[in-house]
Amino acid sequence: MSAKLFAEFPPVKKSEWLAEIARDLKGKPFDETLVWRTLEGFDAQPIYASEDSAPFAIPFKPTGEWLIREEIFERDVKAANRLALDALNRGAMAIAFFAAPQNASDMRALLDGIWLEAAPVHFYSCQDAPRILALFLDEVRSRNLDPKFVHGSIDFDAIAAFATTGKWDAEAFAKAAQMIQTAKSFPHFKVVTIRADVYHNAGGSLSQELAFALATAVEYLDALTERGVSAEEALRQFEVSFAVSASYLLEIAKFRAARWLFGELAKAYGASAMPTIHASSARWNKTIYDAHNNLLRGTIEAMAAATGGADSITVARFDELFKSPNEFSAHLSRNTSLILRDESHLDKVVDPAAGSYALEALTDAMGNAAWSLFQRLESQGGMIPSLRSGFVQAEIRRVREARDKLIAEKKLNVIGVTKSPNAKEKMKGNIEIALESPKPPSDAEIEVLLPYRAVEAVEFERLGSE
């Protein structure tokens, strides 16, 4: 039936579509009226056809499934454990702890009752990573668990730490090699997390985030292979953590391009392993005023990450900018992913964007823009020299300033703040945590990257006038 149906419609060339569009525009310039000027180093067209981009091989994961990862901000190990168990019972599939156990007893209390073969565990503790890793693996061994069924990661990225603190750890690569060796029998526990989200949340573009992730991976691969770790081993124990914003189509393209580029990078090192990819809600586009809009942003972000092929996703709480962690907003964030999975069935298709002329073309454009910047970084010696010279910071600043200009000119909208604000809304009485703008450390070796939020200045001014 479908063959007969489509046979009734002769193929239409792209030139014919463009001619029809030109007639409809009635003399208005095509480029100024319909072309989307992105901040990524390429323009997005209003129409794509088969000749724009043929489908290409992306090392996509074998299923469309992703893990729902929930962050536990509580620092007390026993309280954090209670929150983690509650989250797992309510639909979370992986837990990310901010608590830093000091000894074996603390680690046991933190993980008490958590089935480690079913629920991946992640630790945000870059400074203490080797010690935390040793405590975790000792706990796993004490339970006589099969190492190949234990999944998780530890938040070790000395390069991102250098970018955000301005202090370089001279032992960083030795620590990474040591941790890879320590966790060698745990093939699914990632001991290096490439924190690309740091660059995104400092105001960088999506193609910059990709390029900096690639350049960081190369720094680690070169240093680790010099220390006797094979590229295959290293890539197998890498995770890449991206932020995801509400630019739906471009974010899908970014995650697909990430798999493509890391696949090419692996080939260049004679390896086949792929790092896992985590996505967490971007912070730069979230608001204090009309904060329930953050729920909608988080939904779009989770959809983009799932469609693009993220292995795990964290949806930020809609009120985390101004409130202490609470069960209500955590419940809504968790259920965002549950609805996308269990009601919208986004997990049922592998690479759902494949074959879309627009998304294939945007993936190609995003990948090429990131690769071009990556080559510039490599020509300057790599990621670390580019941070020391200020090149990375200047690139991010250029995009951040361009975005700020678009917001000021009302060409880029932030609903509830710069467009359609609720003038009657008062927020000062709802704020539970300090809202001070971060300041760089005085002893930094480089210009540090600070967290950026697009409407912070506007919202601070409004808070001051309440």
Q: Which position has the higher pLDDT, 302 or 22? A: 302
Are 196 and 240 a contacting pair, CB within 8 Å? yes
In a domain, 131, yes or no: no
Per residue in 339-388, pLDDT (tens digit) is: 999 999 999 999 999 989 999 999 999 999 999 999 999 999 999 999 99
Q: Token pair of 49, please?
A: 């056809």
Are 317 and 325 a contacting pair, CB within 8 Å? yes
Per residue in 333-347, pLDDT (tens digit) is: 999 999 999 999 999
In a domain, 357, yes or no: yes
pLDDT for position 135: 97
pLDDT for position 2: 54
Work out the number of other CB atoms within 10 angstroms of the CB of residue 213: 29
Q: CA 42, CA 47: separation in Å to the nearest integer?
A: 15
First-to-last C-alpha distance (Å) of the chain:
64
For residues 431-442, average pLDDT: 86
Among 92, 98, 95, residue whose Cα is nearest residue 73: 98
In a domain, 2, yes or no: yes
Among 245, 281, 285, 294, residue whose Cα is nearest residue 453: 285
**Band (233; pLDDT cuts 50, 70, 90):** very high
In a domain, 71, yes or no: no
Burial degree of 205 (CB within 10 A; 0-12, 13-18, 19+) = buried
Beta strands in 294-390 (DSSP E): 312-314
Per residue in 148-170, pLDDT (tens digit) is: 999 999 999 999 999 999 999 99
The CA-atom distances, in angstroms, between 225 and each of 152, 168, 230 are 23, 20, 5
Are 214 and 262 a contacting pair, CB within 8 Å? yes
**Segment among 52-66, 141-155, 375-389 with least mean pLDDT:** 52-66
Q: CA 255, CA 304: separation in Å to the nearest integer?
A: 8
Q: CA 254, CA 282: separation in Å to the nearest integer?
A: 14
In a domain, 209, yes or no: yes
In a domain, 103, yes or no: no
Q: Say yes or no to pLDDT of 1 above 60.
A: no
Are 151 and 188 a contacting pair, CB within 8 Å? yes
DSSP 220-261: HHHHHHHTT--HHHHHHTEEEEEEE-S-HHHHHHHHHHHHHH
pLDDT for position 4: 67
User: What share of the chain in percent tops pLDDT 90?
Assistant: 88
Q: Which position has the higher pLDDT, 8 or 146? A: 146
**Band (6; pLDDT cuts 50, 70, 90):** low
In a domain, 22, yes or no: yes
**Band (55; pLDDT cuts 50, 70, 90):** confident
Quote the domain boundaries for residue 222: 1-64+156-466
Q: Token pair of 231, please?
A: 């590229």
Q: CA 308, CA 356: separation in Å to the nearest integer?
A: 13
pTM of the model: 0.95
- Starting at the edge strand found earlier in the chain, the sheet holding 238-244 runs 189-190, 152-154, 121-123, 94-97, 67-72, 312-314, 276-281, 238-244, 192-195
Q: Token pair of 415, please?
A: 């609903």
Per residue in 71-96, pLDDT (tens digit) is: 999 999 999 999 999 999 999 999 99
**Segment among 16-20, 68-72, 278-282, 389-393 with least mean pLDDT:** 16-20
pLDDT for position 331: 96
Per residue in 266-302, pLDDT (tens digit) is: 999 999 999 999 999 999 999 999 999 999 999 999 9
Tell me what the pLDDT averaged over the chain comes to.
94
Work out the number of other CB atoms within 10 angstroms of the CB of residue 319: 23
Q: Say yes or no to pLDDT of 58 above 90.
A: no
DSSP 148-213: GG--EEE---HHHHHHHHS---TTHHHHHHHHHHHTTT-TTEE-EEEETHHHHTTT--HHHHHHHH
Q: Say yes or no to pLDDT of 447 above 70.
A: yes
Q: How many domains does the chain have?
A: 1
Q: Token pair of 385, please?
A: 């020299």
In a domain, 148, yes or no: no
Q: Which position has the higher pLDDT, 1 or 112? A: 112
Return the CATH number at 298: 3.20.20.240
